Amino acid sequence: MMQLNSNSIYPCPACRLGKVQAMPLMEAMACDCCQQIFETDVERQQLKMLSCQPPLVWRWNGRRWIEAYYDGVEFGWGYTLAAIALVAVPTAIVGLTVYIFPPLPDTPLYWLPYAWIWLTFLSHLLTICWLAIEFYQFQLGIFLKTLLQRLVFR
């Protein structure tokens, strides 16, 4: 197992595609792919991403980065339940409305209420996914661009 030090090269925990290495003439590390700047805490074997407040922190276990968390922020079951409720409750309301007042089979847009149920579910689910991506600062565009480059130049 390799201990974290500022002179080695590590995989980037933010984009998971680049390499994190020491920046010349600075006491920081940077990724060659996503351009994020990190601060190392060698004693605690941690890497802090400085571009967000509070900083996102990963711990080095000797082989890979684990436990991405925000320094000083704890999430409980309340956030998970709120996310599930944001997806389930509007979908249930629309679905219950279609169940109580079903469309007539001979009408031109008979399928629309059922499609509306799925659109409600997908739009609320995508909202939760977008919030998670924004919160964890996962740069989807950089990830897809780098992944495409790796597949093309293989």
User: pLDDT digits over 48-68, tens only?
Assistant: 888 877 788 888 888 888 877
Paired residues of 69 in beta bridges: 57
Of 57-71, 95-109, 114-128, the one with minimum mean pLDDT is: 57-71
Q: What is the pLDDT, as a whole number, of residue 127?
A: 96
Note whether 15 and 58 are within 8 A (CB).
Answer: no
Give the confidence band of 138 by pLDDT, cuts at 50, 70, 90.
Answer: low
Distance in angstroms (rounded) separating the CA atoms of residues 76 and 97? 32
Residue 65 parent element (H or E): strand 65-70
Give the confidence band of 139 by pLDDT, cuts at 50, 70, 90.
Answer: low
Of 32-46, 87-101, 138-152, the one with minimum mean pLDDT is: 138-152
Distance in angstroms (rounded) separating the CA atoms of residues 87 and 42? 41
Q: Per-residue pLDDT averaged across 75-92, rounded?
A: 93
Q: What is the pLDDT, as a whole number, of residue 115?
A: 97
Q: How many CB atoms lie within 10 A of CB 134?
A: 9
Helices (H), the chain: 77-100, 112-135, 140-152
Q: How far is CA 144 from CA 17, 18, 21, 125, 151, in A?
A: 10, 12, 22, 21, 10
Q: How many CB atoms lie within 10 A of CB 47?
A: 25
